[in-house]
Structure 1
Amino acid sequence: MNAGLLDNITWHTLSGPQSHWSVGGDTARRYAPGFSPIVGFADLQRPDFAALAPHCASGEPLYCAGWSGPAPAGWRIEAESTMHQMVWDGPAPPPADADDPPEPALPPGTERLGAAHVPRMLALVGLTQPGPFGPRTVELGAYYGCLDGERLRAMAGERMGAGGFREISGVCTHPDDRGHGLAHRLMARLLRQQLARGEQPFLHVMHDNRAASHVYERLGFRLRREVVVRVLSRVGA
């Protein structure tokens, strides 16, 4: 696999395998409204904001990774931080029904999530803030969740992907259910499926979320690089 794709994985995703879920042109694209509000540029050193503008509503918060230049006229930087890009560097997790797995089997209530679960997914995302997420994000890959009746206890899923790389995303656990390894076990299921397809798993985690980074390291991920991430919006009509 060409690891260089990860340097601008958003663009390679939006202009490649997930182009049918994005809008834009040859130099700038974003996920279509309803998906995660993420934008990508073919050239992160010279991002084409003029090409992006027609596809963005005024004041709409948009996430962009890897771009650190000054905001052009008509745009405003709302927030800036950094995140760690981590890639899988371990053996495949054993199946949940292995004779002696390092983690217990998937908990009762584990289901593949779909459109019917979106209100509960959005409620959990609003509570835990794992990153940009929209009502159609669940269409981007496999999402699994642990349900207790109508309550979603934890979830994990797939978002971006290109060139054999596949992102694990939307990993979050309800505050009342932390400490039971729910998201960890959901991630293990995703990892087994991705590795069985010959894909290279990767993920992103905010640099100050050291607890999550340590969990991912114990799972088998390693730090690849630190990336600038910004929230920006278009100003005016």
Structure 2
Amino acid sequence: MSVLEKVTELRNQGRNDAEIIQFLKEQRVSPKEINDALSQSQIKAAVGGMQESMMQPQWAPQQQQEEMMQISQEGMPQIPQEYQQEYSQIPQEQQYYQYSPPATTADTISEIVDSIISEKLSEMKKKILILEEARKSDMAKLISVNERLKKVEDTIFNLQASIIRKIGEYGEGIKSINDEMSMMQDSFSKLVNPMINSLRETSKEKGKKSEDKTSLEDLFKKKKSGK
């Protein structure tokens, strides 16, 4: 883990600059590296806050420029007095570690901004990939549902066609039965009507003969009574 990463982690844990310097000193980190890491961490935090503020419409560009100028004027974080005294007591052979904090340059800020932008873009790409996979999954489910609905529609259509066909066949069957019954009725009428007429004529003839016989009997009785 680099010194900058250690400083960032310690800041996230809520430690102040004095605690961070003391911790890094115990880790045998050189003063120059501590200074550089603290400076870069401060700039990175400030630029990160500026990047978030750029997404908010209420922050004007002028405010961002003022913040950038403030960062440039602040420069490196102030090292506590105790650490400065200890640093001044370093033996002569270690004096080459003595470091004067450089002014914040545009290149340094640009590098840090590029790093932050790259991280944000990487996160956005991951989120986009997740959304794309979710969209593809939803699209596949939608296609499956559409196919099932199409099958249901086809089944209902075939069922309706079958019912209509059966009703048509049933109607044709009834019509055929009616036609056959009409034909049977006609045939039966043609067969029975002559027989009925013949019976009627026979009955009439028998009635006539009976009347004639009655008349003869009456006439005979009258003649017999006259004698």
The question of a shared fold, defined as TM-score above 0.5 by the shorter chain, is answered with: no
TM-score relative to the length of structure 1: 0.19
Q: Larger relative CO (CA 8 A, sep 6+): 1 or 2?
A: 1
Higher strand share: 1
Taking structure 2 as the reference length, the TM-score comes to 0.20
The answer to which structure has the higher helix fraction is 2
